[in-house]
Amino acid sequence: MGDKSNNEVMGVRQAGELDHAMARNGWTPDDVKWLSSGDTLRDVLKLRSGTHVIAPIGSVRHIIDCDADPFVPEGWSIEEHVKSGQLEWDLAKIELYLHESQENFGPLGGHDLRLFLSSKSMMNANVLDYLLANQGLIPEEWKGKAIFFWGTIYRDLDGRLCVRCLYWNGKRWDWGFNYLASAFDDRDPAALCK
């Protein structure tokens, strides 16, 4: 007869080994409580499976290939995709841009905004999709806004031009879009490189 029941992950012997390893590495009861809270152990399992690494904050460089073909939602097509090389993610080099009309006078039409932005360093949808895959890079202060990535313009199933955005849906970061025939207000900044 073994030392664990059918619904236990580890037996008494394994629990003892884990307890000794934690003590040997300076763990406290609060550390053990943290480890067993929420989804922390799922993240540790990703490390074990080799899909993730542990690295000091700031030591991992996030390089986004802005020359790659962007994600295209089913039934959509690309109208325009501004390629801009390899972008190293650095918040200090990111600007959330609002046209003065958006800030001072109210919503601005998408076609007009697109013209104003054409001379600026617009980020494309590759950056949006990279951020969705690496949500820890998205700053908290972006919540409450829809961040638009004007470097990629799509055409939807009905042939209407649209641009995708990043927004907080109340539980997680997600993507949405707006039609260029619609208006963009002071909560709809464009993501630009400084």
pLDDT at 19 over 60: yes
Q: How confident is the model at residue 1 (pLDDT cuts 50, 70, 90)?
A: very low
pLDDT at 3 over 70: no
What mean pLDDT, rounded, does the chain reach?
Answer: 89
Give the pLDDT score at 50. Answer: 64
Give the pLDDT score at 6. Answer: 60
pLDDT at 82 over 90: yes
Domain-by-domain residue ranges, the chain?
12-49, 63-193
Range 67-86 average pLDDT: 96
Long-range contacts from 81-85, C-beta under 8 angstroms, 24+ separation: 81/124, 81/125, 81/151, 81/152, 81/153, 82/122, 82/124, 82/151, 82/152, 83/124, 84/121, 84/123, 84/124, 84/151, 84/193
